[in-house]
Amino acid sequence: MKTKSIRIPKDMMDAIELVEKEERIEESTARRKLIRIGFETYTGNLYKQGKITLREAARLLNLSQIETMNLFLDLGIKGNLDASDVLVSLDRFVTK
């Protein structure tokens, strides 16, 4: 794990302190937790917009594809396929 030094605005420090209190964890753990949540959300949005695949998202998050899909479902991200994409895939599967 790398050590980085960053400037954190007061409102973000307040958020970190809230997480520390609520979860009874150390400040460094609260920071890592909030960074992870932000990265998961950011990655989920990239997936939702079709900018990355589920496989790419799973690799970035260091999770399996099933774990990634479950995480995205928990975040309210249902996927980036519509009915026409599914029908095209099924048609390719049937014709081969």
Residue that has been written with the tokens 């980036």 in this structure:
80
DSSP type of residue 77: -
32-35 long-range contacts, CB within 8 A, separation 24+: none
Mean of the pLDDT values across residues 23-34?
96
What are the C-alpha distances in Å from 44 to residues 30, 64, 66, 93?
Answer: 21, 14, 14, 28
**Residue-level pLDDT at 93:** 73
The residue among 32, 88, 41, 33 whose CA lies nearest residue 68 is: 41
- The per-residue pLDDT for range 3-22, each reduced to its tens digit, is 989 999 999 999 999 999 99
- The per-residue pLDDT for range 50-59, each reduced to its tens digit, is 999 999 999 9
